[in-house]
Amino acid sequence: MDQVVANTVIALGSAGAGPEHVVRTVIYVVSADRDVLAEVWRRFRASPLAPAFTTASTLLGVAQLGFPGQLVELDVTAALPA
């Protein structure tokens, strides 16, 4: 999760945006356990990306992601500042 946060902050910054410019997030977690999903949500909300999760956000438990060992994926849409 820490790497996902760091990568997302860098990606937003390279586009001239920050977490406050995020208008939609989708979080994919390899788990069906509600406690695990809730913990992922809590950690994102306590991270430097927290402002990104005040808009439309979806949290989904999935069977697997694209790479072996990948447990969390974050899809972010930002509205770039003028």
CATH number, position 31: 3.30.1330.40
The predicted structure's pLDDT at residue 82: 75
Provide the domain limits for residue 46: 2-78
Report how far residue 53's alpha carbon sits from residue 82's, in angstroms, rounded to the nearest whole number. 21
- How is residue 53 annotated by DSSP? G
The predicted structure's pLDDT at residue 56: 95
Quick one: tokens of 82? 């003028």
The predicted structure's pLDDT at residue 81: 74
The predicted structure's pLDDT at residue 16: 93
Q: Which segments of the chain have a pLDDT < 50?
A: none
Report how far residue 18's alpha carbon sits from residue 31's, in angstroms, rounded to the nearest whole number. 28
Quick one: tokens of 64? 């697997």
Would you say 39 and 29 are in contact if contact means Cβ atoms under 8 Å apart? no
Give the number of domains in the chain: 1
pTM across the whole model: 0.92
